[in-house]
């Protein structure tokens, strides 16, 4: 019986030899990460959970063919990305804006993206990633990206897939992926800036301005 803290390679080998418990440990280790990726693509909890289920079933079926040339999670994420892209192709959702790759962010591509995110709101990067309102704004911004732009953002920023793997998954050239990623990042910054502008700026000591009591006479 494999220990619960065994590394991925050990669990994969045990699962290959029929150890169902080892495979369950792999599932428990990656279930939320795979869900996060699927949710990033699909924006629906139930659809994302369906993809989690399909991804692990597919992984188990193809486990005998997995030779370990890449890490298990890279392989798992690639399968998840492919399932999500297939899902999006089957259920093409119509978007009013930015579905077409040619629709770009406003402004000159040469312009500096440094201005895109208001530093006064974000504070330090460490504070920003702990701020729930900022994270909600990020999620809302992702929602307004096109499926293609969101796909490259999720595959790159969440999954860390290479340009070659992304090109394979999206059935396009590496150059297209690079361009798509560039514009997706610009769009994301623009959308996020619009949402962050409405957030209250943190006070001097880093705490947010009180909203209710301060407004009362």
Partner 1 sequence: MKYDNDIPTQAGDLQAFFDGELEGPDAERMARSVEADAELRAHLGQMTLMRDLVGRSMEMRAAEVPRARFEQIWDEIDRTISEDARSVEAPASFWQRVWSAIRPFRVPAFAAVAAAAVAVVVLRSGDAPPVNQEPEVASVPRSAEPAPPDAKVAPGPASIPAPAIAESFPSPRAADAEIHGIEFGGKQGRISHTGVVTVLYVEEDAATQKSERSL
CA contacts within 13 A on the Cβ side of 118: 16
> Among residues 56, 65, 16, which one has the least CA distance to residue 37?
56
Which of 107, 175, 200, 210 is the binder for partner 1 (CB under 8 A)? 175
> Which DSSP state fits 107?
S
Query: Which range touches partner 1 (CB under 8 A), out of 64-72, 87-95, 134-142, 205-213?
Result: 134-142
Q: Minimum CB separation from partner 1 for residue 44, in Å?
A: 11
Is there binding between residue 109 and partner 1 (CB under 8 A)? yes
Q: Minimum CB separation from partner 1 for residue 129, in Å?
A: 4
Token readout for 36 is: 């996060």
82: alpha, beta or left, given left = phi > 0 and alpha = psi -120 to 50?
alpha
- Give the length of the chain: 217
Is there binding between residue 112 and partner 1 (CB under 8 A)? yes
| Residue number with CB closer to partner 1 (85 or 186) | 186
Is there binding between residue 192 and partner 1 (CB under 8 A)? yes
Distance CA 152, CA 4 (A): 33
Residue 92 burial class via C-beta count within 10 angstroms: exposed 0-12, middle 13-18, buried 19 and up: exposed
Is there binding between residue 45 and partner 1 (CB under 8 A)? yes
Is there binding between residue 114 and partner 1 (CB under 8 A)? yes
Distance CA 165, CA 177 (A): 10
Q: Minimum CB separation from partner 1 for residue 176, in Å?
A: 5
| Residue number with CB closer to partner 1 (129 or 210) | 129
Which of 181, 187, 190, 195 is the binder for partner 1 (CB under 8 A)? 181
* Cβ proximity of 190 and 106 under 8 Å: yes
* Cβ proximity of 55 and 79 under 8 Å: yes
Is there binding between residue 135 and partner 1 (CB under 8 A)? yes
Alpha helical stretches, state H, the chain = 8-16, 20-42, 45-62, 72-90, 119-122, 125-128, 132-143, 147-153, 163-170, 174-196
Is there binding between residue 103 and partner 1 (CB under 8 A)? no
The residue ranges that bind partner 1 (CB under 8 A) are 20, 23-24, 27-28, 31-33, 35-37, 39-40, 45, 49, 52-53, 56-57, 60-61, 109-110, 112-114, 116-117, 122, 125, 128-130, 132, 134-136, 138-139, 142, 153-154, 156-158, 162-163, 173, 175-176, 178-179, 181-183, 185, 188-189, 192
């Amino acid at each position: 019986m494999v220990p619960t803290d065994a590394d991925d390679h050990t669990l994969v080998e045990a699962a290959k030899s029929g150890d169902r418990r080892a495979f369950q440990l792999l599932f428990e280790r990656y279930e939320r990460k795979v869900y996060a990726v699927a949710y990033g693509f699909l924006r629906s909890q139930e659809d994302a959970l369906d993809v989690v289920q399909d991804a692990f079933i597919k992984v188990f079926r193809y486990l005998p063919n997995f030779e370990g040339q890449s890490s298990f999670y890279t392989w798992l994420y690639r399968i998840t990305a492919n399932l999500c892209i297939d899902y999006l192709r089957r259920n093409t959702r119509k978007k009013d804006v930015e579905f077409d790759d040619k629709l770009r962010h406003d402004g000159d591509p040469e312009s500096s993206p440094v201005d895109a995110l208001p530093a006064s709101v974000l504070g330090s990067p460490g504070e920003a990633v702990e701020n729930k309102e900022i994270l909600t704004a990020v999620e809302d911004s992702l929602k307004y990206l096109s499926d293609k732009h969101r796909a490259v953002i999720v595959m790159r920023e969440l999954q860390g897939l290479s340009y070659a793997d992304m090109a394979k998954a999206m059935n396009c050239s590496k150059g297209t992926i690079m361009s798509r990623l560039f514009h997706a990042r610009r769009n994301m910054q623009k959308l996020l800036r619009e949402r962050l502008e409405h957030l209250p700026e943190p006070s001097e000591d880093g705490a947010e301005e009180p909203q209710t009591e301060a407004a009362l006479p």
